[in-house]
Structures are given as structure tokens and as C-alpha cells.
């Protein structure tokens, strides 16, 4: 299969996934459908802002690009993340958590795919300091396939070849938009508003969310530059540990016997399986095998559990009462 064919299939899958999620959202409510469409713009806005300011990475030509090389992003990023956010929010709705606790869990579920996907899809290039642009450099890269390339200082904390900043950033992106959307429902009764007012609420949520995420990433970068990689790991651990603690504390009240909805989680689960296969096939981080393989597979298993959490009760036929 040629690279062109693979890119075309990846873009087509992203668009199909988005359209499927938009259809499912439209069956729930008009506001939910607007959220899915708005999340595309939200994700692309954050991406474009990042490649034009902090310069921590740049994209290769992945097709259907927005902007000019090297400060461009693939439109598929917006489609995929709109779908992932919608699915994650749907799953936590089914778990029955209080709405204020759902945003960080939404972020954990969504970011779990990134923990498995990015080390395979991207690559990294060593730079001398934070913020250094590496798109014009001819030094070798390391890591995965190199669909996009990270400009990584040697002292930066990384999960395989990917800076921790990436995962902190996506955690912020998902949790902030999820909170804004849910707050619009709870505080402004957005579901009952007319079309124009719903769009205005969503626009305000997106603008505020972009500003908060940009501020959060800038703050993280400043802390990383001052205190080093140990604090980066601490921040990432706290971000991912917070929603895990929420789930553990609520375990007796979680609704985990929902009807199995494989169509909803098919793409995230397929992505995890494909990435595990690619990791092994490409022998990524071979220098640290078998420990690297164990780490990667453990992250993949956690991701699968998170995406299936509302259905795990149905997957245990031996459980009493099933």
C-alpha cells in the first residue's frame, strides 16, 4: 500500500468517524450536534495556535492541510478529536457520574488513545532549547512513523519519543471544552434555547476554552523550563491520576452494565489495536525492549478498559444476575 493510499484512507476514516458521531449527536439533541461541529473548529484552532507560537512540533503533508507549510495542520485532526471527545462524553454520561466530575474523566479516556497512538504516528528531533523551531533542520529523527515531528530538548520529559507537554495539552483541551459544554447545559439551560442562542453559548465556550488552554500550555512550558523534567512527570501524573481517583472513589456507584455499543467505540478500540501491532512491527524504542513493550501494552490495555468501562458489567457473563 502506497503512502498516498494510506493517507487517503486515514482522512476518509476521520471524516466518516466525524459524520457518524454527528449523526449520533443529532439523535440526542440539536445542542449536542452543534457541540460536535464546534469541537472540530476548537481542536483546529488550538493546533494552529500552537504551531504558530510555541513551535513544539510541525506536521508533514498528511493531506487536506489547513495553513501554509510548516505552520499548517491536517483537517483530520479536528475530525478525529471531535469524534473522540463526543464518544468520551457519551461514555461518562452513561457511567452516571455527577456532571462536574465528568470532564477530567472525559479527558483521561480521550488522552489514553494518544498515549498509544502518538509514539507510533509521530517522531522527534532533538533541539537545544524549548521553543526552537526544527522544521528546517536536517538532523535525524527518532521514534515512530513521523507524521508529525516534535522539537524536543534533551532535558524534556518524554513518553517514548513524545513530550509530556502533548498529553498535558490534550488533557486540558478535552477537560476544558467538556466542562464548558456541560456547564452550558446545567447553568444556562442551553438545550432549551433557540438556535441563535445555542450557537452564541457554544461560541463563547470555544473562545474561552481556547484562551484557557493556551494559557495553561504556556504556564506548563514556563514551569518545565524552570524546574525540569521531574516536575513535568509530576504534572502529567497528577492530571491523569485525578480522574482515576474519581473513578476509584465512585466505583460502587458507577453504572457499568449499559448495553454494549460497539459502533460507538469501534474506532478508538481499533486504533489502539493497530498501534500495538505497529509498535511491535516497527520495533519502536528497540533499545529498551522488552521493558518498552511491557509499558506500551500496559498503556494500551488501560485504554481499552477505559473505553469499555460503561459496558464491562456486560462482558462478565459469570457475574451474578447476568
In the DSSP assignment, the letter for residue 259 is P
DSSP state of 70: T
Burial degree of 201 (CB within 10 A; 0-12, 13-18, 19+): buried
Distance CA 312, CA 259 (A): 10
Query: How would you list the strands of the sheet with 148-153, edge to edge?
Result: 57-59, 148-153, 123-127, 142-143
Give Cα separations from 68 to 10, 40, 48, 61, 72 (angstroms). Answer: 21, 19, 11, 10, 5
> Residue holding cell 474561552?
208
pLDDT of the chain, 322 residues: tens digit per residue: 666 677 778 889 999 999 999 999 999 999 999 999 999 999 999 999 888 776 688 999 998 899 988 889 999 999 999 999 999 999 999 999 999 999 999 999 999 999 999 999 999 999 988 778 888 888 999 999 999 999 998 888 999 999 999 999 999 999 999 999 999 999 999 999 999 999 999 999 999 999 999 999 999 989 988 998 999 999 999 999 999 999 999 999 999 999 999 999 999 999 999 999 999 999 999 999 999 999 999 999 999 999 999 999 887 554 444 4
Sequence-distant (6+) residues with CB within 8 A of 239 are 107, 167, 168, 171
Asked whether 145 and 282 are in contact (CB, 8 A), the reply is yes
| Strand bridging mode 142-143 / 123-127 | antiparallel
- Angle in degrees, 0-180, between the axes of helices 3-28 and 75-95, rounded to the nearest 10: 40
* C-alpha–C-alpha distance, residues 208 and 275, integer Å: 34
322 three-state secondary structure: coil
The whole-number pLDDT of residue 320 equals: 46
Stated pTM of the model: 0.94
Q: Which pLDDT score is estimated for 122?
A: 94
Report whether 47 contacts 77 (CB < 8 A): yes
CA geometry: angle 246, 266, 159, nearest 5 deg: 55
pLDDT at 321: 44
CB 311 within 8 A of CB 261: yes
Whether residue 160 contacts residue 115, with contact meaning beta carbons closer than 8 Å, is answered with: no
Is residue 201 within 8 A of residue 193, CB to CB? The reply is yes
Amino acid at each position: 500500500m502506497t503512502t498516498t493510499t494510506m493517507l487517503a484512507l486515514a482522512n476518509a476514516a476521520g471524516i466518516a468517524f466525524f459524520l457518524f458521531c454527528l449523526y449520533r449527536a443529532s439523535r440526542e439533541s440539536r445542542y449536542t450536534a452543534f457541540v460536535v461541529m464546534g469541537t472540530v473548529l476548537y481542536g483546529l484552532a488550538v493546533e494552529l495556535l500552537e504551531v504558530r507560537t510555541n513551535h513544539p512540533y510541525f506536521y508533514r503533508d498528511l493531506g487536506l492541510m489547513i495553513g501554509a507549510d510548516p505552520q499548517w495542520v491536517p483537517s483530520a485532526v479536528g475530525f478525529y478529536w471531535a469524534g473522540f471527545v463526543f464518544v468520551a462524553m457519551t461514555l461518562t454520561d452513561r457511567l452516571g457520574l455527577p456532571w462536574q466530575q465528568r470532564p477530567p474523566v472525559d479527558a483521561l479516556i480521550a488522552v489514553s488513545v494518544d498515549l498509544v497512538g502518538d509514539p507510533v504516528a509521530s517522531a522527534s528531533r532533538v533541539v537545544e532549547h524549548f521553543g526552537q523551531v526544527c522544521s528546517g533542520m536536517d538532523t535525524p529523527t527518532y521514534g515512530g512513523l513521523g507524521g508529525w515531528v516534535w522539537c524536543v530538548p534533551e532535558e524534556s520529559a518524554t513518553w517514548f519519543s513524545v513530550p509530556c507537554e502533548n498529553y498535558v495539552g490534550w488533557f486540558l483541551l478535552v477537560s476544558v471544552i467538556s466542562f464548558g459544554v456541560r456547564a452550558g447545559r446545567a447553568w444556562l439551560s442551553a438545550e432549551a434555547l433557540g438556535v441563535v442562542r445555542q450557537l452564541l453559548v457554544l461560541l463563547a465556550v470555544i473562545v474561552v476554552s481556547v484562551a484557557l488552554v493556551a494559557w495553561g500550555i504556556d504556564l506548563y512550558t514556563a514551569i518545565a523550563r524552570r524546574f525540569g523534567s521531574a516536575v513535568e512527570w509530576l504534572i502529567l501524573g497528577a492530571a491523569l491520576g485525578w480522574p482515576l481517583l474519581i473513578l476509584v472513589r465512585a466505583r460502587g456507584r458507577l453504572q457499568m452494565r449499559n448495553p454494549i455499543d460497539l459502533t460507538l467505540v469501534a474506532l478508538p478500540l481499533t486504533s489502539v489495536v493497530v498501534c500495538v501491532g505497529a509498535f511491535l512491527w516497527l520495533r519502536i524504542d528497540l533499545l529498551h525492549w522488552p521493558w518498552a513493550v511491557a509499558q506500551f501494552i500496559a498503556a494500551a490495555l488501560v485504554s481499552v478498559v477505559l473505553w469499555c468501562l460503561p459496558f464491562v458489567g456486560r462482558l462478565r457473563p459469570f457475574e451474578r444476575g447476568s
